[in-house]
Structure 1
Amino acid sequence: MDWDKLRIFHAVAEAGSLTHAGDKLNLSQSAVSRQIRGLEESLNATLFHRHARGLILTEQGELLHDATSSMNKRLDTASARIRDSEEEVFGDLRVTTTIGFGTLWLAPRLVKLYEKYPDIRVDLMLEERVLDLPMREADVAIRMKEPSQADLIRKRLMTVKMQLFATQKYLYANGMPNSLDDLIEHRLICQSVHAAQVGASSTLVQSLLTNEVGSILTVNNYFGVLQAALQDLGIGVLPDYVSVEDPRLVQVLPEVESVDIPVFLAYPEELRQSKRIAAFRDFVQEEITAYRKVLRAKKNA
């Protein structure tokens, strides 16, 4: 099978248009069309349904696109390993983590990574869905549980607890609750128990909601919960590290917290020698060490 035709097919499948694929490949629309027609003839199959709004893959086209996507990911891996210099860190690094951890803990610290490695390009993918690292949906992941996928190098970074926080201004206006019974006088801000989230967080929220609560605001991610709490709307169920990240927050009912939530870093075995992965791993570890020092100082103050 002609590799060049497969490359062009993949570009068309991704773009959904001969013209857009041609622009990306620096080829004319007619040249792209000829290559696709030639590929279809060699396979004796129709790969695209053509309509006014663009191209849609046929069933046979979907099968071929799955194969070319897998090939592309493998080629990306090989390219990354080849390009990784022995002494320099540069190139693309796709990092996936949860919306909460990525927004509230990781993103604010990335400036230090760029200061040290200005030629690195981080693609930060924040979502609750667990991406497939061996299939190169991402290069490295930080997840709130140990990854179960095979062929991964994994490292436990730290643990997180979900706790209750509010601003001093909110507490001045509404009073500091001394027990769970006092929640009837307050608004609780939390993720919906139906939203994708860490099980320990959902368990804590469900437990809190067995008590009478004056009012409730649910948000589908922790960043939204944080922003609502910072606007003095109520008491937020948030990761414990927000107390270090934002001095405006005060912990409420310290005895109320989730069980430990482990935080793991993982990446494919085939990227073991990647300088970019090593640089990112070491950066995260250094930041966690610094975070722990601040946390200890805060507890001892």
Structure 2
Amino acid sequence: MDWDKLRIFHAVADAGSLTHAGDSLHLSQSAVSRQIRALEETLGSTLFHRHARGLILTEQGELLFEATRSMNRRLEAAAARIRDSEEEVFGELRVTTTTAFGTLWVAPRLDKLYEKYPDLKIDLMLEERVLDLPMREADVAIRMKEPSQADLIRKRLMGIRMRLYASRGYIDHHGRPQVLEDLAQHRLISQSTNAFQVSAGRSLVEHLLTYDVQKTLNVNNYFGVLQAVRGDLGIGVLPDYVTEDFDDVVRVLPDIESNEVPVFLAYPEELRQSKRIAAFRDFIQDEVIAHRRRQKELETAA
């Protein structure tokens, strides 16, 4: 298939207009129109519905546009990697991690990365699904278990544990539980045991529910659990990394916690030389060191 025709098709589909596409490509409207007609003849399908207000993709056009959009992203990413140098870190970097860790730990720290590398473009993809790094669904991942996929460079960043937390306002109003049996007098806020989560968190919640807990609130991610805890709704099961950024949340029943959950950073072997990957990796490692130091200070103060 003619790459030049695909390039012109992508520009037209993106602009929704032959004229606007021609302007961006420095071609006449008639030249653009001829190339689109030739592509339609090659494929044996109509790619656009034409009307007075512009162009609308047909079903076949949508399929082709999805393909050219993917090609364009890959070409831009490849060009950015090629342009990487020792002095410059720029271009798109697609980072995937869980909703909670990305929302509560990674995103609030990105200002430091942007301050150092203002031309870096982070695409932060927050979801529980494990994206396929070798197939380049993302460039780098932070995962709550060691990746099993081959051809990945991986580094253990830290370990986290699920613990029990409540707001200061809730404790002032409802009191602080002293033993596990006291949970029967409180509302337990947690992820549902049916929700996608690390097994250590699920096991802890299942254990807590054996203590005759009658009042519960289930939320499908830890950000929601945190917001409910800060709203004085009860005692929440949360990962320990949330505490340093929220002074209104305090730990209760300090002897109770989950097994340790390892946190790994991983990226494809083929990106070993990427300056963007190196910049992000070094940034995360520095933030982990600072996080550990602050955690020790908080634990000492408590």
Corresponding letter in the other structure for 2:149? Q
Inter-partner Cα distance in structure 2 for 1:29 and 1:221: 51
Note the residue ranges of structure 1 that are not aligned, 5 or more in a row.
none
Distance 1:218 1:32, change over 3 A: farther
**Letter in structure 2 aligned against 1:282:** D
Cα gap change, 1:86/1:245 in structure 2, threshold over 3 Å: closer, same or farther?
same
Question: Would you say 1:248 and 2:241 are equivalent positions?
Answer: no
What residue number does 1:105 align with?
Answer: 105
TM-score by length of 1: 0.85
Q: Is the 8 A contact 2:164 2:238 kept in 1?
A: yes
Query: Hey, what's the Cα distance between the residues in 2 that align with 1:147 and 1:30?
Result: 52
Contact residue 157 and residue 264 of structure 1 kept, 8 A:
yes
SS at match of 1:278: helix
Partner of 2:75: 75
Alignment correspondent of 1:46: 45
Q: 2:57 aligns with which of 39, 55, 58?
A: 55
- State yes or no: 1:6 paired with 2:6: yes
Give the equivalent residue in structure 1 for 2:220: 220
CA deviation digits over 1:4-24, x for unaligned, max 9?
A: 2223445667x5x84399559
Structure 1 residues 246-293: Cα deviation after superposition (integer angstroms, max 9, x where no partner): 222211122322221111111222221111111110010011011111
| 1:276 alignment counterpart | 276
When residues 124 and 31 of structure 1 are mapped into structure 2, their CA distance, relative to the original with a 3 A threshold, is farther
Q: Say if 2:17 is the partner of 1:19.
A: yes
Is 2:149 the counterpart of 1:177?
no
Q: 1:200 to 1:31 in 2, by over 3 A?
A: farther
The superposition leaves residues 192-239 of structure 1 with CA deviations (integer Å, 9 ceiling, x where unpaired) of: 233332232223223322332242112221111111111111111111
Partners of 2:77 and 2:92 within 8 A in 1: no
- In structure 2, relative to structure 1, the CA distance for the partners of 1:9 and 1:257 (3 Å cut) is farther
Instruction: Give the % identical residues.
Output: 64
Work out whether residues 22 and 32 of structure 1, in 8 Å CA contact, stay in contact via their aligned partners in 2.
no
Instruction: State the one-letter code of the partner of 1:252.
Output: V
The alpha-carbon deviation at position 51 of structure 1 amounts to 9.5
Q: Which amino acid aligns with 1:158?
A: M
1:18-50 CA-partner distances (Å, limit 9, x unpaired): 43995598368876554343223224x327585
Q: Return closer, same or farther for 1:232/1:65 CA change in 2, 3 Å cut-off.
A: same
SS in 2 for 1:165: strand
Partner of 1:117: 117
Distance 1:191 1:21 in 2: 52
The answer as to whether partners of 1:70 and 1:135 remain within 8 angstroms in 2 is no
Residue 178 of structure 1 and its aligned partner are, at CA, apart by 2.1
Change (3 A) 1:42 1:230: same
Report the Cα distance in structure 2 between the residues aligned to 1:260 and 1:24, rounded to whole angstroms: 58
- Checking the alignment, whether the CA contact within 8 Å between 2:144 and 2:198 is kept in structure 1 is yes
Alignment gaps of 5+ in structure 2 = none
Amino acid at match of 2:117: Y
SS across alignment from 1:124:
strand
Q: CA 1:206 to 1:48, structure 2 compared with 1: closer, same or farther past 3 Å? A: farther
Aligned partner of 2:159 in structure 1 is 159
CA distance in 2, matches of 1:21, 1:95: 36
Question: Match of 2:216, as an amino acid?
Answer: I
Q: Is the Cα contact below 8 Å between 2:9 and 2:36 reproduced in 1? A: yes
Q: How many residues align?
A: 296
Structure 2 residue identity aligned to 1:76: E
